Amino acid sequence: MQINAGTSDSERSEEKVRKVEGRTLREVTVKIGLERIDTQEGITVEALLDSRATGLVMSLEFAKKQGFKLKKLERLMNVRNVDGSLNKEGPIENTVEVNIYYREHRERTEIDIIGGQK
């Protein structure tokens, strides 16, 4: 299944600026397609680039709402914040397997599920 992630370059990325605790943060998002492996159904979403995470992450709430099939990890993965402290949401317990589409590229990957593990 091919998922169109926008029709023009101007629709593909967007830079947002916001203030957090007096600091200016720049966020760059792109429209990508996510395809569920089990049903081959897809959605188009805005993905945040360079969130400073070391991998791909998706919220538990979003994964459940979109019907992604959760895959339980054999071992929990602790999540650390930028300052080195443990994340208050707890360790990662699940992943989802998806196809990610961007422009003409498709890649099958696993995304870590964060949130709701308390």
Please report whether residue 17 resides in a domain.
Answer: yes
Tally the residues of the chain: 118
Residue-wise pLDDT tens digits, 90-117: 899 999 999 999 999 999 999 999 886 4
Give the mean model confidence (pLDDT) for residues 68-76: 95
* Mean pLDDT of the chain, nearest integer: 81
Residue-wise pLDDT tens digits, 22-59: 776 667 888 999 999 989 999 999 888 776 667 888 99
Please report whether residue 2 resides in a domain.
Answer: no
Nearest to 45 by CA among 2, 6, 97, 103: 6
Q: What are 110's strand-pairing partners?
A: 97
**Strand (E) or helix (H) holding 29:** strand 23-36
Residue range of the domain that includes 74: 9-114
Please report whether residue 110 resides in a domain.
Answer: yes
Please report whether residue 4 resides in a domain.
Answer: no
Please report whether residue 50 resides in a domain.
Answer: yes
Contact 35, 99 (CB under 8 A): yes
CATH number at residue 23: 2.40.70
Give the mean model confidence (pLDDT) for residues 71-83: 89
- Predicted model pTM: 0.73
Please report whether residue 51 resides in a domain.
Answer: yes
Sign of the dihedral through C-alpha 35, 108, 28, 69: positive
Domain count, the chain: 1
